[in-house]
Structure 1
Amino acid sequence: MTIENWFFAIRPKTLTAAVAPVIIGAAMAFDEGRAHWLSAMLCLLGAVLIQIGTNLANDYFDYVKGTDTSERIGPVRVTQAGLISPDVVKKSFIIVFALAAVIGGLLALRGGWPIVVIAVLSVMSGILYTAGPKPLGYLGLGEIFVLIFFGPVAVGGTYYVQTLEIHAPVLIAGLAPGFLSVAILAVNNLRDIDGDRKSGKRTLAVRFGDMFGRWEYFVSMILAALIPAALMLMTQSHVWVVFSSVAIMILSRRLIQDVTLKSDGATLNGVLAQTGQLLLIYAVIFSAGWMA
């Protein structure tokens, strides 16, 4: 085992999906003068730990179920590649999820039972995404999981634990990172469609075909771009958040073109990484616009 192998295992490029909604939730609390920085930092740490734990669990269970094979065209999976033993990967995700649970407990001291519920459901969903007899990801429910937990739950939870309140605009704001995370999953499943079909992993791309996956990516981008404009109209303020919509429209143009016209693994891997970067850029621009 080397540091490089663990780098492959935790998949740092996916961590933007955990970081982005926390940034947005913290910015919305800060704008109201109600930021609680210790809670915000614990939210960030907890979200990253849950994402890492989910990545490790996916690595392990996809190998055990035979989904990841030598024909895989995506980034290296350490269990399948023999870089880290299955037993070590299993112990690692258990430890990481346990640490996330500790963070959740600390946050619950401030936020109470709502935070306990969010923490428990987040950890359970991270495990059940690929574990158990009927994993969420194998049933085509991955998009729903991603939209909810990387969207309104993450943004709303971060905001709530600081302000101890929740409001509709906060949950609506969470839809944008949720849709962008769905776009990440869409291109991931489009890339893996052949292997998933062979292994019985019934993602939406497998169920409805690669054209559905391409449209899913496009529609997710459009819906994400509409959220800031909707919030501006709803609140009659925060006009600068529109620049985050513009950022999506500009930065996603070539990505949508690649997803629409190309199918090779190298291109789709690049789109996946760049969509993750777009998510982080969006979060920063939206947050700055909201606080302006």
Structure 2
Amino acid sequence: YFDHKKGADREDRLGPDRAVALGWVKPKSMLIATLISLGLSCIVGLFLIQYGGWELIFVGLAIAVFALAYSAGPYPLAYHGLGDVCVLLFYGVVPVVFTYYVQANTFTVGALLAGLGLGFVAINILVVNNYRDYDADKLSNKQTTIVKYGKAFGLAFYIFNALAGMLFFIAVTELYDVYAILAYSLAFIWIALFILVYRKLTSLEGKALNAVLASTAKMVFLFAVLLSVLIVFCKQ
């Protein structure tokens, strides 16, 4: 809804279909649905208080505020090059650390490392999205990091995030005393698949990059699965 109102989502967009941009749903209806969904999410989240304490209300409020502030308000974060930071925090650190906290009632370095690793890898979904929409974002003055620093930066950023994710992957390996052959075998599998996806990113353009977007999302899921396997089969 908010991207459509700002002119960032048009009928000629290269990404997956957007209901409002294509006229399938009226803007007002989408806004109402968005607020209802956000409200229901907050209500469901209240049930976690019995496990994690009233402090979780502040976490829930922060998530709700940033969900809206990402593309709404007087200073939409996605339009000022801060979308990547939001992904790192709210697709990585916050969900991992606080999911662990709700179940164990404690914070650990391991949960933080795992959250950072997942967060950096998840940023690449946004990188592909912004790389594909580079020209359209420039026209709508959406100052993503790739609009600010160029498409070459986007390709380098994609590699950086993967390497950062792997560094935290190895850090978790060391922290939990995982069998080395298992850890490095899983890391090799992920890196090999990442290289294949990266080659597609550098060779495709326009709507064809939607396939890379999907593959990148799958790489994030695979990273989470492999990280879970590491922790389950640690020596401790």
TM-score by length of 1: 0.76
> What's the CA shift string for 1:205-260, capped at 9, x where partnerless?
00001111111111111111222212222343464444442232011111111223
The Cα offsets for residues 38-95 of structure 1, whole Å up to 9 and x where unpaired, read as xxxxxxxxxxxxxxxxxxxxxx001111111122111111101001111111111111
- Output the CA distance in 2 between the equivalents of 1:109 and 1:118: 14
Match of 1:148 among 86, 89, 100: 89
1:65 aligns to what?
A: 6
Work out whether 1:186 is the aligned partner of 2:186. Answer: no
Contact 1:243 1:289 in 2 (8 A): no
Q: Determine if contact 1:243/1:286 at 8 Å carries over to the other structure.
A: no
**1:256 corresponds to:** 198
Q: CA deviation at 1:267?
A: 2.9
> Which of 217, 228, 235 is residue 158 of structure 2 equivalent to?
217
* Distance in 2, Cα, partners of 1:215 & 1:248: 18
Q: CA-atom RMSD, angstroms?
A: 1.5
Letter in 1 for 2:32: K
Answer yes or no: is the 8 Å Cα contact 1:182–1:220 preserved in 2. yes
Cα distance in 1 for residues equivalent to 2:115 and 2:179: 16
User: What amino acid sits opposite 1:142 in the alignment?
Assistant: G
1:115 matched residue in structure 2: 56
Contact 2:173 2:230 survives alignment (8 Å): no
Structure 1 Cα separation of the partners of residues 128 and 112 of structure 2 = 25
1:221–1:248 Cα contact (<8 Å) kept: no
CA displacement, residues 97-143 of structure 1 (integer Å, 9 cap, x when unaligned): 01110122111222113321221111111111000121010010000
CA–CA distance in 1 between the matches of 2:193 and 2:69? 33
Contact 2:176/2:231, CA 8 A, preserved across alignment: no
1:89 to 10, 17, 30: 30
In 1, Cα distance between equivalents of 2:53 and 2:115 = 21
2:187: which partner in 1? 245
The one of the two structures with greater contact order (alpha-carbon pairs below 8 A, sep at least 6) is 1
User: Which 5+ residue runs of structure 1 have no aligned equivalent?
Assistant: 1-59
Contact kept? 1:159, 1:166, Cα under 8 Å: yes
CA pair 226-72 structure 1, distance change in 2 beyond 3 A? same
Q: Find the aligned partners of 2:24 and 2:185 in 1 and give their Cα distance.
A: 43
More helix as a share of residues:
1
Structure 1 window deviating more from structure 2 (248-257 vs 228-237): it is 228-237
Unaligned runs of 5+ in 2: none
The answer on whether the counterparts of 1:193 and 1:206 sit within 8 Å (CA) in structure 2 is yes
Q: Distance in 2 between matches of 1:138 and 1:231?
A: 33
Between the aligned partners of 2:202 and 2:192, the Cα distance in structure 1 is 16
Contact 2:128/2:213 (8 A) holds in 1 = yes
Contact preservation (8 Å) 2:52, 2:102:
yes
Aligned mates of 2:12, 2:88 — CA distance in 1: 29
